[in-house]
Structure 1
Amino acid sequence: MNKSRIFLALLGTFLIGVSLGIVFTVLNLQFAENLFSNLKQLFGGKLDGVQDSFSLFKLIFLNNTRVAILAAFGGVLFGVVPLGILFFNGFLVGIVVEYSYLQGESLTKILLSILPHGIVEIPAFAIAGLGGIEWYLEIIKGEGTVGGRFIKGFKIAMKMLGIAIFLLLIAAFIEAYITPSLAGYEL
């Protein structure tokens, strides 16, 4: 399987998660309501000390970098972890989008809250996961000794993780500084 197919499969997994999150919310509004409430509490607690855009930027960037590292290193475990991360993130996005829409939020505001940074952030997670999957594939299909294949795969994964972290830096900047004004909410 080539890199572009794996990358597209990871993005597809995210979109499947979004779709299922939307369907799940429509079918089980009460569970979605509870989950949405818990998410607001969880993230609201993390946001308590955030009083400015730079603090929000740091919080978002550090949190997303942790997820990307998990995707990259978890990819070596048969590729399951990056798929799980992208599916779960998509599922949560689907729930939040549909729940917000059902609560009367305009679709425009919802999309402006997600798309500007999401078009950079989600591919970044996919790139990090792709690096981990490439690491796994190098170990099982590469040439040379197991140790040599491990190191070669590790270098590939770290290069891709570096690209992902750079993209997450851009996404966090957009989410902290641009998205609030586009979507009509300020810190």
Structure 2
Amino acid sequence: MITKGEFRTYIAITTMVFSFAILSGYMAAVNSPEKSRIIVDSFFGNLDFTRNFSPLLIFVFIFLNNLLKALFVIVFGFFFAIVPLVFIYTNGELIGLIIGVFQRENSLFMIVLGLLPHGILEIPAIILATSYGIWLGNCFYRRLKYKEPFRVHFSFAMKKFFKVILPLLFLAAVIESFVTPVVINYLFSR
């Protein structure tokens, strides 16, 4: 099994990749604002179908979307950690692009309001899921090279998914669906 100290290394790696990706996305938005705006508009445009959803349906959509992505990142981590690393980098870069685009348009306050409340829970959950995926990639490599057991590590990661990551994603989806819209509407209707 993995010790807390060992797992902190995986969290540190994931956090560094995520932070670098945010910075990379932000710099891309600063250096190529038009292209970045198109990417951000496309991302939000892909979510247009949720515009008329009730808050409950938005909650279900957000929760299931994040739940499946986190599960996917853990389960497919055994492919030498490629899936988790691509996932965390892509998400970080998109966040950086969004921050850069909205900052340019003087809407940074809106982005902070839109991301911070649920992001406090969702980002750590995604970092944990990615870290477990990377760890499983290492465990799978060790299985192939040294014939070390893998199933026990996979079971451990899945237990952490259900005990820690799933509840964080649930609470983040509640906040994103029910709390954040009320706060934004209140502040911008005055």
- Interval containing the TM-score (normalised by the shorter chain): 0.7 to 0.9
Aligned to 2:89: 87
Match among 10, 15, 31 for residue 14 of structure 2: 10
Q: TM-score, normalised by structure 2?
A: 0.86
Distance in 1 (alpha carbons) for counterparts of 2:140 and 2:103:
45
Aligned to 1:169: 170
Aligned to 2:122: 121
SS in 2 for 1:10: helix
Aligned to 1:160: 160
Listed as ranges, the gaps of 5+ residues in structure 2 are none
Q: CA deviation at 1:43?
A: 1.0
Q: CA deviation at 1:183?
A: 2.8
Report the residue type matching 2:150 in the other structure. Answer: F
Report the residue type matching 2:106 in the other structure. Answer: G
Instruction: Kindly report which structure 2 residues correspond to 1:1-80, keeping only aligned pairs within 5 A, or say none.
Output: 2-45=6-49, 47-50=50-53, 52-80=54-82
Q: CA deviation at 1:177?
A: 1.1
Check whether the contact 1:21–1:94 (CA below 8 A) recurs between aligned residues: yes
Distance in 2 (alpha carbons) for counterparts of 1:161 and 1:131:
9
Q: CA deviation at 1:29?
A: 1.1
Between the aligned residues of both structures, percent identity stands at 26
Deviations 1:114-166 (A, max 9, x none): 01111111111121122223323333447xx94x7121121122112212122
Q: CA deviation at 1:73?
A: 1.2
Listed as ranges, the gaps of 5+ residues in structure 1 are none
Distance in 2 (alpha carbons) for counterparts of 1:65 and 1:91:
20
Q: CA deviation at 1:49?
A: 4.4
Deviations 1:97-118 (A, max 9, x none): 111121231x222211101111
SS in 2 for 1:149: coil
Aligned residues: 180
Report the residue type matching 2:69 in the other structure. Answer: V
Check whether the contact 2:73–2:130 (CA below 8 A) recurs between aligned residues: yes
Deviations 1:57-108 (A, max 9, x none): 1010011011101110121111222121111111111111111121231x22
Distance in 2 (alpha carbons) for counterparts of 1:66 and 1:49:
23
Report the residue type matching 2:35 in the other structure. Answer: F
SS in 1 for 2:149: helix
Distance in 1 (alpha carbons) for counterparts of 2:60 and 2:67:
10
Distance in 1 (alpha carbons) for counterparts of 2:115 and 2:18:
14
Aligned to 1:130: 131
Distance in 1 (alpha carbons) for counterparts of 2:24 and 2:72:
23
**Is residue 101 of structure 2 the alignment partner of residue 99 of structure 1?**
yes
Distance in 2 (alpha carbons) for counterparts of 1:97 and 1:121:
17
Check whether the contact 2:81–2:133 (CA below 8 A) recurs between aligned residues: yes
Q: TM-score, normalised by structure 1?
A: 0.87
Distance in 1 (alpha carbons) for counterparts of 2:17 and 2:120:
15
